[in-house]
Amino acid sequence: MKKMIKMLACTALGLTVLCAQAQTVEKKAASGVAKGEGYVSKGLKSAGFDNQDLYGELGLSLLSYKIASYGISSHPVMIRAIAGYDFHRNLALEAMLGLGLGGSTGVGYYGSGYNVSAGTMIGAYAKPRITLGDMELFGRVGLTNTSSSVRGYAGTDGGASFSYGAGLRYMTQWAAMGNRNVSINADYMSYYSGSGLKYTGLTVGAGLQF
């Protein structure tokens, strides 16, 4: 009986310590987020901007990579992050970063095998848009630099290109990270077109308004 009481006491003590540590970590995380927001807010205000017009998005992209003359067709996967700023109710500016998660293999017209792996994408866009209630319809035009690894093919596999696309964003009633509005979005983009190569993609994701 005494052993059981000791075990229960130790368990209770351990749970108390763990709860205290969890609360400490949570407070530190909240403090870190608050400090980070303070630095961002000060930086934006010093440049004449408002952090309330800042937003971020994270999405998963299913890409289509095609070199028609060689019969190369692949569907690599990419995770895409966007940081945007609302300059006007009908216009935003965005910076994009895409990181490849996986690729696929196949055989071209001439019997040679290939393996396409999504690389890194970096882009800058103007985003004209129309708001209809909680729904936003938008276009994107800008420049994107794409890179990918194509083993078994010696031609061009990417570079800088004019990029464009269209999509929609819906502002939900959900909130996260300090009652920030959560949005869901989807778009179709042409990231690269040239030298016989076409690089397009469909992305679905979610975002936060800061």
Residue-wise pLDDT for 164-194, tens only, equals 999 999 999 888 777 788 999 999 999 999 8
Q: Indicate whether 85 and 168 sit together in one domain.
A: yes
Q: Is pLDDT at 205 greater than 50 in this prediction?
A: yes
Residue-wise pLDDT for 90-102, tens only, equals 999 999 999 988 7
Q: The pTM is what?
A: 0.72
Q: Indicate whether 28 and 125 sit together in one domain.
A: no
Q: Indicate whether 13 and 112 sit together in one domain.
A: no
Q: Indicate whether 73 and 172 sit together in one domain.
A: yes
Q: Indicate whether 63 and 108 sit together in one domain.
A: yes
Instruction: Compare 53 and 127 and report the one with higher pLDDT.
Output: 127
Number of separate domains in the chain: 2
Q: Indicate whether 84 and 1 sit together in one domain.
A: no
Q: Is pLDDT at 77 greater than 70 in this prediction?
A: yes
Q: For residue 111, what are the domain limits?
A: 50-209
Residues with Cβ within 8 Å of residue 208, at least 6 apart in sequence: 55, 56, 176, 177, 180, 181, 182, 183
Q: Indicate whether 149 and 78 sit together in one domain.
A: yes
Judged by DSSP in three states, 118 sits in strand
